[in-house]
Chains A and B, each alone.
Chain A
Amino acid sequence: MVIFDWINSQLLRMEWLYELVRLLVENVFGLSMQERLGGSVHFFIYDVIKIFILLSVLIFGISYIQSYFPPERTRKILGRFDGLSANILGALLGTVTPFCSCSSIPLFIGFTGAGLPIGVTFSFLISSPLVDLASVILLASIFNWQIAIAYVVVGLILAVIGGSIISKAKMEKYVEPFVFSNKIMDIEQEELTTADRVEFSKNQVLDIIKRVWIYILIGVGIGAAIHNWIPENIISAVLGQDKWYSVIIATLAGVPMYADIFGTLPIAEALVLKGVGLGTALSFMMGVTALSLPSMIMLKKVVKTKLLVVFGGLVTVGIIIIGYSFNAFGYLFL
């Protein structure tokens, strides 16, 4: 237990870093932590450094694991199952298979063309951006493990249910026909050496940092502003725990936005510190990551509008339900 607590407080929450930055802010900059300026400077520096360290370490480790799960292998594995277990497996594999939102189309076509039921593919597409091993660990670092695990479980359930509904509703007819008519070439999978995997993981870290650093700075900046500058009553008025509409507002605000999940975490953290319900903050995060305008636009090319709307609607409703549940049961975790 002691070891676990140490891991939790030093490696994940980085209490040593918190202290170091506090010393910096108080002794070098001469600012008081109790004051707004000092408080936000501290929040900004500490959060940025923490996120970048965690990001690099996590992406590296996770990419390494992901190098064992190229989509071709995922497709083969999924092809052997059917029914609910296929959906569950699809959702699980979605969390470990790497892809960026622009790959969602070729992936969709690749899976569907190979004969996988679209419900399974959608379970995969829902869980992939939502449940990401790196962000789960970041959640644990900002909140705690119980919340992180609950988030994973809930995200997976949403993916499985969403996919199953789409399958049961027989929405295959809303997929553009060319998707089914295409010949799937099985590209030969070259076996990767350890050096290849390290190279791949290293490149993933650099690539992702290059893409998201700006979102992280913006996210932490907004988080710092919320933390210290925006008065609690304004936030309470819109997103307060007692406001029944807070979850809906948070979700709807998140859905049209797209930012990397790492950028939204500091915002969620600042919101919760200001008394916003845990569920509300999580709904915002899930809204931002699960549905993104770029991937919806791309999906439109392979799927008819009706199916796209069902997909978007299901995920949004699911997130709202999750938000309310976390608000109701959040006290168990915090």
Chain B
Amino acid sequence: MIIKVLGPGCKKCKMLLEHVNEAIEKTGVEAEVIKVEDMAEIVRYGVMLTPALVIDEVVVSSGKILMTKDIVKLIQK
């Protein structure tokens, strides 16, 4: 699976990225994690609040820093 963390680079998006990496470590799921900082691309997903999380091209959350346990639930689906 391809997980993208969308955000222009402020603390919030860094935290989301950390939680994503933690979740992947915990579950051992095979995933490529990409940080997207380019505005034009972020907006292409229709996202208006960063940070946002995209899994396999589907926006699963925007505007929240998800807790690691919530991300675990999402990637295990």
Contacts and interface: CB of A to CB of B under 8 A. Distances in A.
Contact of A107 (B45, B49, B65): B49
Given A71-B48, A75-B48, A106-B49, A182 B12 contact: no
A49 interface: no
B33 interface: no
B12 A107 contact: no
Contacts of A203: 64-65
Interface residues of B, number: 23
A271 to B, nearest CB: 30
A98 B8 contact: no
Contacts of B43: 106, 109-110, 113, 179, 182
A184 B44 CA distance: 7
Contacts of A185: 44-46, 59
A148 B66 CA distance: 34
Contacts of B65: 203, 207
A178 B40 CA distance: 7
A120 to B, nearest CB: 15
Contacts of A83: none
B50 A187 contact: no
Interface residues of A, number: 33
A207 B13 CA distance: 13
A145 B44 CA distance: 44
Contacts of A107: 48-49
A245 B13 CA distance: 41
A99 interface: yes
B39 A109 contact: yes
Contacts, number: 70
A105 interface: yes
A310 to B, nearest CB: 21
Contacts of A186: 46
B77 interface: no
A74 to B, nearest CB: 9
Given A71-B48, A72-B48, A186-B46, A105 B63 contact: no
Contacts of B62: 187
**Which of A105, A106, A109 has most chain B Cβ within 10 Å?**
A106
Contact of A71 (B12, B49, B59): B49
B42 interface: yes
Nearest to A184: B46
A231 interface: no
A98 B46 contact: no
A305 interface: no
B75 interface: no
A112 to B, nearest CB: 10
Interface in A170-217: 178-179, 182-187, 200, 203, 207, 211
Interface of B: 7-13, 39-40, 42-50, 59, 62-65
Given A109-B39, A109-B48, 10 more contacts: A75-B48, A99-B49, A102-B13, A103-B49, A105-B8, A106-B49, A178-B40, A182-B44, A200-B64, A211-B11
